[in-house]
Amino acid sequence: MIMKDAYEKRIIAYADIISWRNASNDISQFNRLYKTVKIIEDRAKKFSAEIKKVLRDTPGVSPKDIQEHSCIEFSFFSDNFAVSAPANYGQMIFTVMAWASHDLLREEFLVRGGVTIGDLYHDQGIIFGPALVEAVKLEQEKPHYPCLLCSKELGRYLKQTDYMDKVVLIDKYEKLVVNIGTIGRPYAEKDLMQIIEEKFSEAEKFADKWKYLQEMLPRMFKTRDYSQ
C-alpha cells in the first residue's frame, strides 16, 4: 500500500447541481436524471486512469499535453462533483468546469460551487484535504446563486498568472466567479440563453437563480475563446 505523507497544492472546484433533490423525488424525471448522470460520468471518464494510459501510449501526442491531462482528477457522485489539478496546471480546471456547466445547462440544470487553491490529495476518486473543505464551504455560502464562487486565496494566486481575465470575472454581487462563457462554439451563447430564458419564465421557485444567469451569461461570453 502506497502511503503519502504530504498534500499537493492544487486548484479544486467543487460543484453541486441545483434542484437535483426535487427532481429525484419525481419519478417522471428519472430519464432526465439518468441522462444527466451519464453526461457527468462521460466528463469524468475523460480523466480516468484508463484514458490517461491510452493518451500516454498514443503516438504523436506531445509530452506537455500528456502531462497536463494526466494531472487532472475528476470525481463525482450523483449531484456533486470535484475537479482538481496541480496549481501550475490550474487553468484547465476552469475549462473543464465551463464545459460541465454547459452540459448541465443543456439538461436544464444549474450549477453552484466553490473554487479554491490549497492542500489536497486527489487521486483516482480518493479526495480529501483542507482545500476540499474550503471549496465545499464556498459552495454553501449565501446567497445560493448558480455560480462557481472563487476564494480570496485563489484570487490572489490568479493575479500572478497571465490567464486570470480569461477565466474569472466579478459578478453583480461583487464576487469573484468562474467565467463559464470563455469556451464553446459561436452558437453556444444563443443556445444556452434560450434555455435560460425559457426556464426563467417557467420555474417560479428558482426564478431568481435563472435570472442571475440570464444577466451574467452575456457578460461572460464577451470574453469567450472558441479556440479551446
How far are the Cα atoms of 157, 182, 211 from residue 227, in angstroms, in the given order? 25, 10, 29
At the fourth CATH level, the homologous superfamily of domain 8-221 is: Nucleotide cyclase, GGDEF domain (3.30.70.1230)
pLDDT tens digits for range 44-67: 888 888 888 887 888 887 887 778
Rounded distance between C-alpha atoms, residue 122 and residue 119, angstroms: 10
Residues 174-178 have a mean pLDDT of 96
Helices (H) and strands (E) in the chain — how many of each?
10, 8
pLDDT tens digits for range 145-170: 999 999 999 999 999 999 999 999 99
Helix axes 207-221, 188-202, angle to 10 degrees: 160
Residues 200-204 have a mean pLDDT of 70
The three cell numbers of residue 130 are: 483542507
Would you kindly state where each structural domain of the chain is located, as residue ranges? 8-221
Q: How confident is the model at residue 2 (pLDDT cuts 50, 70, 90)?
A: low
Q: How confident is the model at residue 226 (pLDDT cuts 50, 70, 90)?
A: very low
Q: Would you say 131 and 117 are in contact if contact means Cβ atoms under 8 Å apart?
A: yes
State residue 98's pLDDT score: 93
From the number of C-beta atoms within 10 Å of its C-beta (0-12, 13-18, 19+), residue 1 rates as: exposed
CA 195 to chain centre: 19
The C-alpha cell 489536497 sits at: 120
Percentage of the chain surpassing pLDDT 70? Answer: 92
